[in-house]
Structure 1
């Protein structure tokens, strides 16, 4: 499985991720702003490739998107709303490419793609996580 929130924190503490100091700042802010018991799902986009990182935390009534801006600051956007639809494009094989689109009542859409959000070494893990999130919501 791709990183859940506790595993992510441990990778950061062990300095196993690039930009671990920046992620440590995010973890401290998350601890200040949110109660982990309210987290339904954590999805770390692009922490294993060279694309722009986005950390997604899903709640019962929405999600928060955490991403860096051009000034190396972190932007926290909390979107409220219930899921009104979900769509999964699934490979014939569980560990291959999967894409999940989640649409919220506020009009926001989140698209998760196991190929684009990870790297070849993590593709199967991200595919499994996307399948788990599809079942959860």
Structure 2
């Protein structure tokens, strides 16, 4: 699995990520707005590559996406209250090959998780496991 929300928070506090101070601000805001114990699943997209990072947090009745602005130090918190109407998982024989989970919601929005695109070479297997765990949970 990738990292849990608690592990992410710990690593930010330990300054293990680029822009850790920005993520620290996002964590503070998250904890003011949400009961983090009620997060069903935490998926950090692009945390380990050069693409814009975002946190996808699955909630009991929907999901939350936290994005950092590339222009300044602001964050957006987009919560969608919805339910999954379909999920499609594309798996391959090898864990380091592409594994893709596509989730379709009743509000018409989709989330696609991709182990290779969402991580880097060192984290592909962990993201594969994370996607498989999420598939079982939701």
State TM-score, norm by structure 1. 0.96
Provide the rounded CA distance (Å) in 2 between the counterparts of 1:4 and 1:90.
23
- 1:95 positional shift: 4.5
Instruction: Tell me what 1:91 maps to.
Output: 92
| Deviations 1:32-82, CA, capped at 9 Å, x for gaps | 000012110000001111001110110111000010224321111001101
| Deviations 1:72-123, CA, capped at 9 Å, x for gaps | 2111100110110000111112354211101111111001101000000000
The runs of 5 or more residues in structure 1 that have no matched partner are: none
Instruction: Tell me what 1:35 maps to.
Output: 35
The runs of 5 or more residues in structure 2 that have no matched partner are: none
Provide the rounded CA distance (Å) in 2 between the counterparts of 1:118 and 1:66.
17
- CA-atom RMSD in angstroms: 1.0
SS at match of 2:120: coil
Alignment of 1:1-137 (within 5 A): 1-72=1-72, 73-137=74-138
**Runs of 4 or more above 3 Å deviation:** none
